[in-house]
Structure 1
Amino acid sequence: MSKKIATYLLLAVFILSLGLVGCGKQTNSSTAKVLRVGAETTFPPFEFQDETSKEYTGFDMDLARAIGKQMGYEVQIQNIGFDGLIPALDAGTIDMAASAMTITDERAKKVNFSQPYYKSGLSIVVKSSNAVINGFKDLEGKRIAVQIGTTGAEAAHKIKNAQVREFNSSSEAYIELKNNGVDAVVNDLPVNAYYLTKSGDKDAKLVSEVANSEYYGLATAKKNTELNEKVNKALDELKKNGEYEKIYIKWFGKKPE
């Protein structure tokens, strides 16, 4: 064998060994535990994008990351329209939805819900000058803005003669109120309260009446009962070790009820 041929053979072996090392790295990365979490990220204080860091933040986002850490998973957040979350779970493009999703009988037919992790209710935001709307009974025949796919939207559609306008995000609904396109916004109480506090909008106010006490749950695919059990176990552990309470106080300024 000539020196030239021997050199080529050694080079070929070297290149082959590099390829095998590369394959080994890919195998290791593919076996990493990842929890793909879907959320509609325009729903503060539960999920929204930080203006400075551009990272997804909020109560649900902190809770989802804490659950993933407790389970030993890396959490990856995906921004998905609220009405697309359940289809995404069905399709397997996400593993869990953490998006202030109210537990309802209808949704429970399509997904597995975790134990409740937050108690909420529906409320109304109107212009500060509005002295006519003081409760849900006063919304009859009025123009109402809601976020598509939410329980607020469901409730608004049941109001007699109401003209309901659906928007992709809660922020769009508030803008419509500001521009006098609607008479009121119906949304979850903590979301409405957070908007008024953080936006500093002096031209809007929260109607005192709260309706339809409801509970939020983390959703997983109907067929993935194993993941649902792991999520519930992690939630229990976070409540016992104080991490859940810490996250709750961070976003709502008080201990959970």
Structure 2
Amino acid sequence: MKRVLAILLTVAMSFAVMAGCTNQNSGSGNQTEDIVASVKKSDAIAAALPDRVKTAGKIMIGVDDSYPPMEYRDDNNALVGFDVDFGNALGKKLGVEVEWVPTAWEGIIPSLQAAKFDFILSSLSITDERKLEIGFSEPYIQGGPVIITLKENTSIKSGDDLVGKVVGAQLGTTGEDAAKSVEGVKEIKSYDKITEALQDLSAKRTEAVVADDQVGRYYIALDPEKYIVAGKMVEEPFGIGFRKDDTALIDAVQKAIDELKSEGTLSKISMKWFNSDYYKN
């Protein structure tokens, strides 16, 4: 799912596509501060942290800061996004500071293995191939390509319904791969930016757009009266990546994740960024 280059340069680009819409998902400000500030430290979980983390008083997190809305730089060059809020909330739960370590995507796993940071929190898909190299938390959110249509279109519910349709997708994403995997699609139009794909969908030059889940929902939240997620094509779980032998940290972080889920913190962060609760039972 992750691309080396930024999918979008700034949130402001969305306003050019969806004129008049109000951005409900501010990348910084009081909403983020309130969510993270409300998280309480768990003394029991903090006590289980590895000695090196306790001594340092911080966790170092590797991130490729080029993938909005998960992790990216806002107009003030501040690091923002769903994963960023999540990581900062983890720090609060563990009772340690968080230091983000920006790392190019192609080098992020080697840098983890070289102990440049403690773990990766950066839209990292859990795959069998990666499991041979690193350890993972349990999935903290489900990604994967989704089908976006105009709200008025009720004829498309699944990948099978794309047969005979003109479909848009962003170049080089798993959304484009998923669209190409459907036999019988009339035409696939590929775009440099997801905003361009949505613009053509709005103009009815395409009948659907296949996009990465979180990216798609982020832009749908900007104009929920126009677009909907009509269906999901493939599940793609994201996890936090660790060095395999760092078992004490894996266990402590997993317990912290479980508490953030159960107390509703992850639901709040999800609603902020996607206008959708990925943690609702």
TM-score with structure 1 length normalisation? Answer: 0.63
Tell me how far apart the structure 1 counterparts of residues 157 and 251 of structure 2 sit (CA, whole Å). Answer: 42
Moved >3 Å (runs of 4+): 133-140, 142-148, 150-160, 172-180, 183-187, 195-198, 204-209
1:64 aligned to which of 54, 62, 87: 87
Task: Compute the displacement of 1:237 (Å).
Answer: 2.3
State the match for 2:217 in structure 1.
Answer: 193
CA-to-partner distance for each residue in 1:108-146, whole Å, 9 max, x for gaps?
2221111211123313579xxxxxx99757699x99866
Mapped partners of 1:58, 1:245: distance in 2: 14
Out of 216, 239, 243, which is 2:265 matched to? 243
Report deviation, 1:84. 2.6
TM superposition shift of 1:176: 7.5
Higher helix share: 1
Is the alpha carbon distance of 1:34 and 1:79 closer, same or farther for their aligned partners in structure 2, counting shifts above 3 Å?
same
Question: Distance between the aligned counterparts of 2:170 and 2:114, measured in 1?
Answer: 27
Unaligned runs of 5+ in 1: 1-30, 127-132
Q: Which residue of 1 aligns with 2:64?
A: 40
2:194 matched to which residue of 1? Answer: 174
1:182-236 alpha-carbon deviations (Å, 9 max, x no partner): x9975422212324555x7xxx977734211222111112232222111101112
* Matched letter for residue 208 of structure 1: A
**How much has 1:63 moved relative to structure 2?**
0.7
Where structure 2 has 5 or more consecutive residues not aligned to the other structure, the ranges are 1-54, 150-155, 201-205
RMSD, aligned CA: 4.1
Secondary structure at the counterpart of residue 84 of structure 2: helix
The structure in which a higher percent of residues are strand is: 1
Q: Deviations over 1:63-83 (max 9, x none)?
A: 111112222221111222333
The number of equivalent residue pairs is 218
Could you state the TM-score of these two structures normalised by the residue count of structure 2? 0.58
- Residue type at the aligned position of 2:68: P
User: What is the match of residue 113 of structure 1?
Assistant: 136
SS of aligned partner of 1:251: helix
Q: Deviations over 1:39-61 (max 9, x none)?
A: 2223222212121x321111110
Tell me, in whole angstroms, the C-alpha distance in 2 between the residues paired with 1:179 and 1:41.
Answer: 25
Q: Identity across aligned pairs (percent)?
A: 34
